[in-house]
Amino acid sequence: GRNGTYLIRNYDDAFLGPVLYRNALANSRNVPAVQVLEAVGVERAYQHFCKLGLARGEKDPAYYGAGLAIGGLYVTLADLVRAYGILANDGKAFDLKWFDKPSSPEIPARQIIPEDVARQITLFLSDPMSRLPSFPRMGSLEYPFAVAVKTGTSQGFRDAWCVAYSEEFIVGVWMGHPKNFPMNRTCGANSSAELVRSIMGLLHPEEMQGLLERPFPAPRGWKPQRICMLSGKQATEDCPSVAVEWFKPGSEPPPEKDFHRKVLVDSRTGRIAGLDCPPQFRLPRMFTALDPVFGAWARESGLEILPPE
């Protein structure tokens, strides 16, 4: 605003309710990204961005504030591709090699991101189901083989970028005006991603035909677990939406308990039936014990929130 205040919101102004990390990342949710930054700490996050080559320590972390989580750093396309290359390289240092420069001797790469974390994020970014509902299936972000994809769009549609990587190649594309003029509602998902997909298709002709598919490896020693996408806990047969997540042994969330439950409701009031409710007015219904803050979203989504007693 004119008085120096700002409001962080999602690019589509949509609210998706409670989301898992994988869905928040794949759906490019700004608000969860800022919440994670606040939990980690601006100083700690900024130091990590320096290790990734996305910041150079020229400014105090407070200069960026919450903008660190949503593209406030000034980076080049080369910086961005190099950082995503670290994810693609199992968390080890990654550098670009330019064709017009002589090759330098290979030096053992240092570990910048733990391998298991890098692999987990790669699984997040390569899962087309995780991008729903913000990005529809069978679009420019989806491939017939394993490709991790992330797009970005700056405020005012001044930049549209996409980075994607397979087991063999990494491709990055930036679109925008050299004088920083806004584009006609051109975002990363409907412009840069299409060009990236075309390039990936040329690099992977057989894989694009559904041949030689190789999935990304899961974190070593981690185990898959069915998770309720609403509670974030181990799913039960009553969960309406379930995702498979990988966990380090001992870090699994607890089993879900009484989150989705069948209760008797007083048909006259819509509230939980009391002991004095006559039997003919007691109706069994399935409810979700969501926080009331999600009430409006739950009703729009067809979910029933547990009523008061």
Give every CB contact of residue 301 below 8 A, 6+ residues apart in sequence.
Answer: 17
Outline where DSSP puts E strands in 38-155. 148-153
Task: Give the whole-angstrom CA distance, residue 223 versus residue 220.
Answer: 9
- pLDDT, average across residues 200-205: 94
Q: Alpha-carbon distance 276 to 294, whole Å?
A: 30
Average pLDDT in the chain: 86
Name the token pair of 192: 């840069």
Measured CA to CA, the distance from residue 107 to residue 196 in angstroms comes to 29
Which pLDDT band holds residue 119 (cuts at 50, 70, 90)?
very high
Burial 4-29 (b: 16+ CB within 10 A, else e): eeeeeebbeeeebebbbebbbbbbbb
| Each residue's pLDDT tens digit, 138-157 | 888 999 999 999 998 776 66
Q: What is the mean pLDDT of residues 245-261?
A: 90
Backbone angles phi, psi at 134, to 5 degrees: -65, -35
- What percent of the chain clears pLDDT 90, i.e. is strictly above it? 46
So what's the pLDDT on residue 82?
96
**pLDDT score at 309:** 65
Question: Can you give the pLDDT at residue 169?
Answer: 95
pTM confidence score: 0.84
| pLDDT digits 0-9 by tens, 31-87 | 899 999 999 999 999 999 999 999 888 888 888 888 888 888 888 999 999 999 999
Averaged pLDDT for residues 83-103: 88
pLDDT at 14: 76
Q: What percent of the chain has pLDDT over 70?
A: 90
